[in-house]
Structure formats: C-alpha cells, structure tokens
Structure 1
Amino acid sequence: MPDALAPLQNRHLEALERRYAEVLGALGYDGVLIYSGHPALHFGDDQHASFCSYGHFQHWTGQAGLTHSWLLVRPGQRTTCFVHAPDDFWHLPPSLPDEGWTEYLEVISGRFETPPAVKASRLAVIGDIDDDTARALGAERNPPALLIALDEGRVRKSEYEIACLSEANRMALYGHRAAQQAFLTGASELDIQLAYLKASRQRESDVPYGNIIGLGAHGAVLHYQHYANEAPVSRHSLLVDAGHRYRGYCADITRSWPGPDAAPTFAALITRMNDIKQQLVAALAPGVEFVALHERMHQLLGELLVESELVSASAEAALESGITRAFCPHGLGHLLGVQVHDVAGRMSREGTALPPPPEHPALRLTRELEAGMTVTIEPGLYFIPMLLGPLEAGPAGSAVNWPLVERLMPHGGIRIEDNVAIATNSVRNLTLEHE
C-alpha cells in the first residue's frame, strides 16, 4: 500500500537536511552521527528496561523502538540510516515500515552494536554514547552548542509532524471513550487500563508514557502509577491521562468524568474546568508569553473557586495568597512532539535558559509561543491532602470552605488536557477535531 504521508514526510526530511546543513556548517562540523540508543539491563538481572529511541533519531525516522541503530547526516550527501537487524532466532529482527523515509534515506541493514565507520574531518556523535565509543570514532560527544541548536529545530513542527500528532490524537481518543465506558460499567483501574489499550490498539510497552488511570482519590495523585485490580465500593470519579504514539509522535490527552456517586458540585466543576480549558486554548497565538497564560489559568481558577463557594475571599486574594497553587500545583502545559515533554520548552531561540518563575517551579514551557509549535493545555483542580493541610493551617486557610473540601476529597481531582497546534493566524485543536 502506498504511503499517503510520503510527500509530506519527504518535505519534512528536506527541511531537516537544510536545517542540519545550516547548523553543522555554522559550528564547523562535517557531519553528525545520531545513535538511537539501547535498552539498559536491570541491575543483577538479565531483563532489560523499557526502551525508547533518542528523540533526534525519531525526528528523522519516527521509529521509537529501533535499538543499536545509527543515522549519519553529512551536508551535501545522502543521509544514511544504519538499521540494526541481525539474524537472530531468539528475537524477531526489526522490519522496515512502508513509510516514505525508507525510500528517501539510504537504509543499510546489518549488525551495528558498534557504530559504522565514518569518514569526516570533524564529526559529532550524539545520543547515549560513552567516551570510549566517541574516541574510537574520532568524534566529539554530545557537544552542547550542537544539541541546543538541534533541539531548537524540533520546536516548530512541519506539516508532516502535525499530521502524525493528529493521528496520534485520533487513536488515543478511541482509548478514552473505551475507558469511560468501562468506568460506567463498574470496572477496576486495571480493567479500565486494559480497555484503553485494546481500543487504542497498543501494548503497554508502546504507549508514550505510563497511562494514569485514577479512580476517586487516586485522581489527586498527579502521576498516579498503579492500576488497582479491584473496583472501589463508591465510584466518585475517574481521571484518565493517556496517549498514543504514531510514527514516533505523541498524543497526551486527559479527561475527567463524574461517577454515579459523584457530588453534584464535582460534576459542575468538571463542566467549568472544560470552559476554562476552552478559554485558554482560544488565547493561544504567536507572541503570547506562556508564563502569562499560565498565570491567567490561576486567575480563572481563582474565579472558579469563588464561584463554587470553595473560597470565600476574592479571586485576586485566592491567587495572591497561594490558594490556587494549593489546588493546582502543576504547569499549564508543555511542548509536544516525538517526546511527550518535548525539548527546548525552557530555552529561548538563541539558546538562553528561561527557568520557570519561583512560584511556578513545575512549569515546563516558559517561552513565547510561535507559529508551528504544538502544545498541551491542561488546567487542573485537585484535592491533595499534602497541599491542603498546610493551607488550612496557614493564614489563608480561613478563606477556604473546608466542609465542602472534605466532601469533594474522595473525588480526587480534575484535569482536562488537549493538544493544540499553533499557526500564524489560527489554532488547531488536534484533540477536539477527533472527539
């Protein structure tokens, strides 16, 4: 079957070749060798940890599972991919997908536990490489200026990349719909996870990050990592933060649903949090400072806390006193691409570090938005005892409706997350277009 995305991928690869030639030329390199990586052994064991290819290798090939493989980029010469595919009766060697990159690049299959020989007067090698390997190649290992420049080249997505991100969203939403249905039938977290994987056509080792399937109070654990195999007696809520990977590109979607035992206030909060998410998506545009948009989320959250009678002070006071941060400790969103938390979110175009403000240390994106970026927008509202306890004991605690907080505590929390591509004069919500 012909690859329908091949023309877009070819243009993507042409742009990559131009970008690499510009960067390598400016830094004085004749070429760069990119290593896909290799899985690590668990200590004292013969089992390997889960594996994902290096992001810059995926940027060219979209292959998240190719181990011990190499990509050689030299300006003026055809880019070559050395695919590690040795004869093996213990494991099935990788086969090449029917995708445009396999024709565009020169592909050489063989055994490449050690890197291929490369002729270049000044070579860089990037990836999970040790010093001995770099010395044997006569190459500079992971030069910082080169890495910063290549990371910056992944910030603005090509038309091909956005097509892949869109498809990843489409497939992830099959899983979210199946997860919701499983929840409504009384399933456990484990059964909801299995329903998600089946509907989205993934095995657990293929998802771009560990799915978060939180029933009730587990929804307040931001990176909840377990799947209880027994359903709770009371079904207050479900939070699902789960994605899909398509040709290396990641969807990162979160949905929250009230259960049959949910308080009416909680269901209303979900509706209002979705409204807040929509307002923040509508505010995306080139030139917008993401830190300011994150602060706008806290303003809107303060208004919601007052409106829902969780807080008796003004929205401004809730923001200034830190009340909103106790109810939402994470950032508004991040860059998205072949990595879920894609590179260069805290770096300017010129390579200057842009750390998050002290009051928002978890914010992963601190730069000005540009056309071509794809970002997540994920406002949240949580009932986290570890954060609410100190709030109650402090001076701002008198403004909080603690009896209502106590009634909502078993519901865990709410997060609504969409993936949005920013263009010059518009935004494209890659999640809602498939929902």
Structure 2
Amino acid sequence: MIDFRDKYKDHVDTCIKKTREVLEATSIDSLVLCSGITRTYFSDDQTMPFREHPHFARIVPLKGSDHLLQVTRDRKPLLIRVKKEDFWYADSFVEDTWWAEFFEYKEVISSEDAWNEIVDIKNSAFIGENTKVALANGITLDGINPKNLVELLDYERSIKTLYEVACIRAANKIASLGHIRAKEVFYNGGSERDIHFAYLEGTEQLERELPYETIVAINEHGSTLHYQHKDAYRKNGASLLLDAGASYNGYVSDITRTHTTDKSHPIFREIVSGVELLQKSLVDEITVGKTLKDLHESAHKKIQELLLEHKILIGNIERIQQFALSKVFFPHGVGHFLGIQVHDVGNARANAEHLRTGNKIEVGQVFTVEPGVYFIPTLLAKHRSGDTSALFNWSLIEQLLPYGGVRIEDNVHVSSAGVVNLTREFLS
C-alpha cells in the first residue's frame, strides 16, 4: 500500500473548499452525496456489479453502498458510513479508517439510520441514484441532481489534485505490470484467455477491481474497438491489441499497447511503429490553452500522412482530405479525461468528433492520448464502390485486414511544469 495520507489532507481541503464555492454560487446551503445503491438484475435476486458514485468517491476512498456525505457552507463535513449487519455478504473491507479524522465521522447499520443523521436538510441538494429516498427525507424535487450544480462540480473534478495524480500514477504502475506479463504470454503463443489471466496475475487485481473489462484482441479482433471476448483457442497470434487498466484508491488507468510477431505483414509492423511515434509526437504537442479537438485534428493529419506514406490511401490528397478518409481508419476520439471514471467527468459527447469534452487544456487535467489505425470491414465496405473507391489501395488493405488494428494509449498529466506522461515511466 502506497501511503498518500500527506497529500490526502490537502486534497480533502481543496475538494471541500471548491464544493462550498459551488454551494455559494448556486445559493444552496448543503449538499448530500450518496456513495450509490445496489441493484439486482431483472427478475433476479443477484446484484449487479457496484461502483461508487464519482462525486462521493472523489472525496472519500470508502467502498460500499448507501454511505452519505454532507457538505455545508461552514460545518465540518459529515460522513456517515453504513456498516450493515449481514451474514450473507461481508462488509466492504477497510484496513483502517485513516481518512475519518477529516470528517465528523459516524457509523450506522442502515440507510434509514444514515439519513436520520443528516442535519438541516432545508435548502439542500442531493447527488445520487436513490432519488425516492432523498425526496422522502426532505430533499425537494429541484434539489435532486440539479444540473447547474452538477456541471460546476464536474468542472472541478476535471482539475486533479496532487493526491489524485499520485493515485492515477499508482494505477498506471499496477497496469504496467499486467501489460508486461501479458506481453510475455502473447509472445509465448498464448490465447486471448491466457493473456487475460496473465494480465490479472501481473496486476494482482481481480476482474471486479479493474476499471473496465480488458480488451485482448488477437489478429483481426483488433478491428473491433471494444472487443470483449476472450477466445481460448486463438493462439500463436501475429498481432495483439491489449487495452487494459488498473485501479488504486478508486482512481484508474487506461493503457493500450499493440504488439506484433514476425508472422504479421511487414507494412502492418511499420504502421505499429508509425503510430507509436505519432502518439509520442501528439503528447509533445499538448499545450495549455489548446483543446483536445486541436489534438484530435492533429492526430487525423498525422494518420493521413502515415496512410499515404505506406500507400494505403492513394491518389489526390485534396480529395482524400475532402472526404475525410482518415476517419475510416481512425473512427474514435484522440483522448478523454481520466480519474475516478475511465471516461471521467463528461459522459455526453461534446461534439461530432467523438470527444467527450470541448474544454480547453488546463493545468491539473489528466487525460489519455490514444491514436489508432484500424482495418474495420464495415467502415471500409462503404468505400469499395463509388467516388472514393479509387483512393484506397484495396490490394494492400486486403493483406492488412487479418491484423485488425493498432492503438497506442498513454495517460498524461498537465502540470505547472509541463506535461508528465504517467504511463511511460513504467511501460515503454
């Protein structure tokens, strides 16, 4: 366990200060945050996988459902932990409650008891899923997940404290160990399932502890951006796209690497090298005041050049640009915010470029940089006939289809001293 307690105090002070500023700006006296509620599958008594609500998890590294945190404009924050008396399931494991000293800390045995501890509910807002319970306990309808308050808090979440950056860095270190172990198994001829198990072994994390399901894509499976299966029989692959992260104290990493063997097409291997260099150059371009859209457009320009260099796209450059043909090979955004959530803060896409934020790059942000080149049959099929068909080198594309695609992804922090790559310290 890495000890970040010194950074945590400053982190909590910052979070509470910013929350109080938001309360003042929205004329609300207090905010009640819930860690989340458990749900069951339809017509079943089995619970779905649970994750803590990000606004709660940012302030308190406490696992489990139904906990409440109340932040007011002047009192010490009130944290109410629900320790259920249950012989079916164990309570969320907590080594110690070192963080409790920063709150007025109470323990109760039920959600109902937790709500009974909340004080001065008048003119309060609530962020969470269990809205019926909040309404029954005095929160008004206008105070349930108020849009203006949530948006202001989301913005504050996009600027990471030193504690948050340290946790994301630790998550990168853990994930890197998994990537290194998984790579070894791939080069030893392992299947997608073998590689997945090796990744878990390397990280020493359970599947439910990972921030998202690993993407272990051998050969043409790499053309499916979020390929979810783990083929037990696909062995001795020519290429591997591995997209996998890890978690630490509720914060996550999101890393992708693409590996090839001498069985893959030499041009595909050159594309992997080209995307690697391209990705590093994009990280070097990150500048405060630019936007991710600027970086995204630069990525498309560089990918177009790479496709032309290897004669995957051919012919008139103006027409290639006119039809935006690089999007056929790079159909996703160049990056997204990272933190408590894999796609942190912004859930709705901000524009047609598949980017989840239109914000300018600022000091304190952490986001991914993940260009790629893919050979996706459904996207290519639209251009096999018609005006754009002659701009594609179909003979070469047919030879590259069996290798799926390439993605290289790092996690970067925009610090006051410059851009820090949180991934490359641990993984080449």
For the structure 1 residues 129 and 81, does the alpha-carbon distance in structure 2 shift closer, same or farther, using more than 3 Å as the test?
same
User: How many Å apart are 1:99 and its aligned residue?
Assistant: 6.4
For the structure 1 residues 132 and 95, does the alpha-carbon distance in structure 2 shift closer, same or farther, using more than 3 Å as the test?
closer
The residue number in structure 2 matching 1:350 is: none
Amino acid at match of 2:295: L
Distance 2:8 2:134 in 1: 32
* 1:102-127 CA-partner distances (Å, limit 9, x unpaired): 32223322223334222223111111
Distance 1:318 1:195 in 2: 42
Residue pair 1:186, 1:231 contacting (<8 A) in 2 also: no
Q: What does 1:271-310 correspond to in 2, within 5 Å?
A: 271-310=273-312
Q: What does 1:38-77 correspond to in 2, within 5 Å?
A: 38-63=37-62, 65-77=63-75
The match for 1:96 among 72, 94, 97 is 94
Q: What does 1:22-421 correspond to in 2, within 5 Å?
A: 22-63=21-62, 65-98=63-96, 100-114=98-112, 115-117=114-116, 118-120=118-120, 121-139=122-140, 140-232=143-235, 235-313=237-315, 315=317, 317-344=319-346, 355-357=350-352, 360=353, 362-421=354-413
Query: Does residue 12 in structure 1 map to residue 11 in structure 2?
Result: yes
* 1:13-47 CA-partner distances (Å, limit 9, x unpaired): 00111111111122222211101112210111111
For the structure 1 residues 4 and 380, does the alpha-carbon distance in structure 2 shift closer, same or farther, using more than 3 Å as the test?
same
Amino acid at match of 2:43: G
User: How many Å apart are 1:294 and its aligned residue?
Assistant: 0.4
Residue pair 2:316, 2:391 contacting (<8 A) in 1 also: no
SS in 2 for 1:432: coil
Residue pair 1:235, 1:260 contacting (<8 A) in 2 also: no
The residue number in structure 2 matching 1:428 is: 420
SS in 1 for 2:111: coil
Distance 1:431 1:253 in 2: 8
Distance 1:13 1:316 in 2: 53
SS in 2 for 1:193: helix
TM-score of the pair, normalised by structure 2: 0.94
Distance 1:98 1:264 in 2: 54
The residue number in structure 2 matching 1:349 is: none
TM-score of the pair, normalised by structure 1: 0.93
Distance 1:304 1:11 in 2: 45
Distance 2:339 2:196 in 1: 23
Distance 1:345 1:278 in 2: 27
Residue pair 1:285, 1:424 contacting (<8 A) in 2 also: no
Residue pair 1:82, 1:112 contacting (<8 A) in 2 also: no
Runs of 4+ that moved beyond 4 A: none
User: How many Å apart are 1:185 and its aligned residue?
Assistant: 1.1
Distance 2:404 2:214 in 1: 17
SS in 2 for 1:82: strand
Residue pair 1:162, 1:421 contacting (<8 A) in 2 also: yes
Distance 2:391 2:295 in 1: 25
Distance 1:131 1:315 in 2: 58
For the structure 1 residues 154 and 97, does the alpha-carbon distance in structure 2 shift closer, same or farther, using more than 3 Å as the test?
farther
Residue pair 1:286, 1:424 contacting (<8 A) in 2 also: no
Distance 1:300 1:99 in 2: 49
> Number of aligned pairs?
422
Amino acid at match of 1:356: N
Distance 1:124 1:24 in 2: 9
SS in 1 for 2:420: strand
Amino acid at match of 1:392: R
Distance 2:74 2:6 in 1: 21
User: How many Å apart are 1:138 and its aligned residue?
Assistant: 3.3
* 1:220-278 CA-partner distances (Å, limit 9, x unpaired): 1001111111124x622100111011111110000000134211111111111001001
For the structure 1 residues 97 and 320, does the alpha-carbon distance in structure 2 shift closer, same or farther, using more than 3 Å as the test?
farther
Residue pair 2:375, 2:405 contacting (<8 A) in 1 also: yes
User: How many Å apart are 1:316 and its aligned residue?
Assistant: 5.0
User: How many Å apart are 1:70 and its aligned residue?
Assistant: 1.1
SS in 2 for 1:116: helix
Distance 2:26 2:373 in 1: 46
SS in 2 for 1:391: coil
Q: Which runs of 5+ in 1 are unaligned?
A: 347-353
State the superposition RMSD in angstroms: 1.8
Residue pair 1:71, 1:81 contacting (<8 A) in 2 also: yes
Amino acid at match of 2:395: P
Amino acid at match of 1:127: G
Residue pair 1:285, 1:371 contacting (<8 A) in 2 also: no
Amino acid at match of 1:432: R
User: How many Å apart are 1:98 and its aligned residue?
Assistant: 4.1
User: How many Å apart are 1:419 and its aligned residue?
Assistant: 0.2
Amino acid at match of 1:129: N
